[in-house]
Amino acid sequence: MANSVAERHSGGGGEADPVRGKPQGTAPAVLSVLDLAVVGSGLTATDALRTTARLARTAERRGYHRMWVAEHHSMPGVASSSPAVILSHLAALTERIRLGSGGVMLPNHAPLVIAEQFGTLQALAPGRIDLGLGRAPGTDPATAAALRRGRADGADEFPQQLAELVRFLDDDFPADHPYSRIHAVPGPVQGTVPGGTQSPARPPVWLLGSSGFSAELAGRLGLPFAFAHHFSAENTLPALDLYRRVFRPSEVLSEPYALIGVSALAAEDERQAHRQVLTGALSMVRLRTGRPGLVPTPEEAETHPYSPVERQIVDGWLANVVYGTPDAVREGLNELAKRTGADELMITANAHSPEARLRSYELIADAYGLPNAA
């Protein structure tokens, strides 16, 4: 079953290569954007999603290759619970940048539903949609149980769910399969009926992970792989090594293609950058100690009475964030790209201030000489 997924994965959108991008400016790897629609203290989900929309336009204007949004649930400080809904909005606001999920947590959903959602997105923005898939719940166990309506933990069934999803995307279940007469629409079936002109192309599938499971599966299937370095840095090199070691060429890729998520923020001076990233660190402290909430203000983060345990969490978190002046961030990203051999760096700037986050992407683009379409 696993090999059949790779053999039938045709990519999508009419592009010669819907997976690989080309390094921009002086960047050592392709630069892209990951957004969680973070909600800061004193702000609303509407504010957060408007910032996500502004970020999509900024990323397109400044030459970033793609922008993904992540699926999270039951987290007050994250408004990205419905990636497909957000992506449909971003697709209407942009023209060129690739858009996708980073990712959709497949065990939370029926594969047919995901095939329909991303088939719809592909119809709305042909050739610009990526389908990134993860096997974690993107939330706590109780919320995962509510999402899955009493079904058992779907993580163990991820390879089978993936194979079923790809069958729906390609509309090629065997004739004797129970789902052979079920079609994901929009999809390839529309090109096979009388008068049909629907393109059979569909979004390329990526596997996401923070450990070795998805790394190995992506490698064996010959699929592109995205690793969550921004919250699992200690596993980055082992996972990427495993992915490359077991990689089998497929119709999608002749050689491995690895993307890593990187937490990075640039500001005019180091103190400004530190004030902003500290808000994300305190937010992580609260999440890891069972008190998730909105992203705090810089003032709140600076005056918080950190316990020794909380300080340890903060120090560990900040150790894996690339922040500072634009030149310092460029050097940090260059070092990370060299150390990991990543083909693509997907930057996420989780901080309280929408303006600081947007400004950071502008400064990083300037540091690498990315074009400014304005």
pLDDT at 139 over 80: no
H or E stretch including 345?
strand 344-348
More confident residue, 308 or 147: 308
More confident residue, 156 or 306: 306
What lies within 8 Å, CB to CB, of 23 at 6+ separation is 29, 30, 31
3-state secondary structure of 164: helix
pLDDT at 32 over 80: yes
How many residues make up the chain in this entry?
Answer: 374
CB 19 within 8 A of CB 11: yes
pLDDT at 124 over 60: yes
- pLDDT tens for residues 173-218? 999 999 999 999 999 888 888 887 777 678 999 999 998 999 999 9
Give the best-scoring range by mean pLDDT among 15-19, 146-150, 159-163: 159-163
pLDDT at 47 over 60: yes
| Cα-trace Rg, the chain | 20
Question: By C-alpha distance, which of 260, 224, 276 is closest to 341?
Answer: 260
Which phi and psi angles does 208 have, rounded to 5°? -110, 150
* Average pLDDT rounded to a whole number, residues 247-273: 97
What amino acid is encoded at 195 in this protein?
G
For 154, other C-beta atoms within 10 Å of its C-beta total 19
How far is Cα 363 from Cα 360, in angstroms, rounded to an integer? 5
CB 209 within 8 A of CB 215: yes
Name the pLDDT band for 4 (thresholds 50, 70, 90). very low
How far is Cα 117 from Cα 125, in angstroms, rounded to an integer? 12
Which phi and psi angles does 102 have, rounded to 5°? -130, 55
Name the pLDDT band for 323 (thresholds 50, 70, 90). very high
Place of tokens 């947590």: 105
How far is Cα 120 from Cα 109, in angstroms, rounded to an integer? 16
Q: Looking at residue 153, what is its pLDDT?
A: 57
How far is Cα 165 from Cα 184, in angstroms, rounded to an integer? 10
Name the pLDDT band for 152 (thresholds 50, 70, 90). low
What pTM was estimated for this model as a whole? 0.92
Provide the pairing of β-strand 258-266 with 321-324: parallel
pLDDT at 10 over 90: no
How far is Cα 129 from Cα 361, in angstroms, rounded to an integer? 21
pLDDT at 75 over 80: yes
